[in-house]
Amino acid sequence: MRKYIIAGLLVWLPLAITIWVLQQVLGTINGVFFSLLNGLKVLAPASLADGIDSLRNVPGLGVLILVGGLLLTGMFVANMFGQWWLRQWDKLMGHIPIVKSIYSSVKQVSDTLFSSSGNAFREAVLVQYPHQDSWTIAFVTGQPSGEVAGHLESECLSLYVPTTPNPTSGFFLMMPKSKVRSLAMSVDEALKYIISMGVVAPHSSPAGQGGVELQRNPPD
């Protein structure tokens, strides 16, 4: 009986977790959508109040509006006029106390992560951490620069070491390039390997996934 229960759990657990995650995401989107409807209801004439309330009962409308809004925003900022408005918006947010520190930090991180020309999170590597002869997987986020780079004796890489099973938290390290081993596995495969605590082994993939060129000799 125990064997059958575990077999059934292995079938339904991934589906249950997937449904739970989707419910959380859809709940957040619907919460934002309902807040927008409440604001629109306050500004709109009383004759339109019933029509605005009826929009709450349309399934999937919040997701559809979100996707449409992202698409229209992307099309708007893709031209020179939209870029000018985006710069003005950034200047405005940069003059609001407290908000400016949060907004500027998040914008810098998002611009770095989603930049098509950047190397952030484009390559998985193997490093010795937290001590000698103990290995873990990390992701290359770039190279140290500015004042920090001036204090480093050798060429180093900026690395993010995620925790298991929650990869959204982790550690930021700067390690000598000679101490980092390049991996042929993709970032997706490395994430699955980390989240599963080593249970889901990555498939063998061809070398040369892009990113920063590393030495493949074992570190000292």
Please indicate, yes or no, whether residues 61 and 136 belong to a single structural domain of this protein.
no
Q: Is residue 29 part of a domain?
A: yes
Return the number of other C-beta atoms located less than 10 Å from residue 157's C-beta. Answer: 23
**How far is 69 from 194, CA to CA, in rounded Å?**
34
| Total number of domains in the chain | 2
Query: Predicted confidence band at 161 (pLDDT cuts at 50, 70, 90)?
Result: very high
Return the number of other C-beta atoms located less than 10 Å from residue 191's C-beta. Answer: 19
Where do the DSSP E strands lie in the chain? 124-128, 135-142, 156-162, 170-176, 181-182
Q: What is the mean pLDDT of residues 174-203?
A: 87
pLDDT on residue 93 = 87
Q: What is the mean pLDDT of residues 119-144?
A: 86
pLDDT on residue 105 = 80
Half-sphere exposure of 141 (CA within 13 A, CB side): 19
Please indicate, yes or no, whether residues 68 and 119 belong to a single structural domain of this protein.
no
Q: Is residue 93 part of a domain?
A: no
Q: Is residue 27 part of a domain?
A: yes
Query: Predicted confidence band at 181 (pLDDT cuts at 50, 70, 90)?
Result: very high
Q: Residue 210 pLDDT more than 50?
A: no
Please indicate, yes or no, whether residues 56 and 160 belong to a single structural domain of this protein.
no
Please indicate, yes or no, whether residues 122 and 206 belong to a single structural domain of this protein.
yes
Spatial contact of 195 and 167, defined as CB atoms under 8 Å apart: yes
173: which strand partners? 159
Please indicate, yes or no, whether residues 159 and 74 belong to a single structural domain of this protein.
no
Please indicate, yes or no, whether residues 115 and 171 belong to a single structural domain of this protein.
yes
Please indicate, yes or no, whether residues 56 and 122 belong to a single structural domain of this protein.
no
Task: Considering only residues 52 and 82, tell me which one the structure prediction assigns the higher pLDDT.
Answer: 82
Query: Predicted confidence band at 214 (pLDDT cuts at 50, 70, 90)?
Result: low
Please indicate, yes or no, whether residues 69 and 133 belong to a single structural domain of this protein.
no
**How far is 114 from 103, CA to CA, in rounded Å?**
16
**How far is 213 from 207, CA to CA, in rounded Å?**
11
Q: Is residue 87 part of a domain?
A: no
User: What secondary structure letter does DSSP report for 176?
Assistant: E
Please indicate, yes or no, whether residues 109 and 217 belong to a single structural domain of this protein.
yes
Q: Is residue 190 part of a domain?
A: yes
Please indicate, yes or no, whether residues 47 and 132 belong to a single structural domain of this protein.
no
Residues composing the chain: 220
Please indicate, yes or no, whether residues 176 and 215 belong to a single structural domain of this protein.
yes
Domain residue limits at 181: 105-220
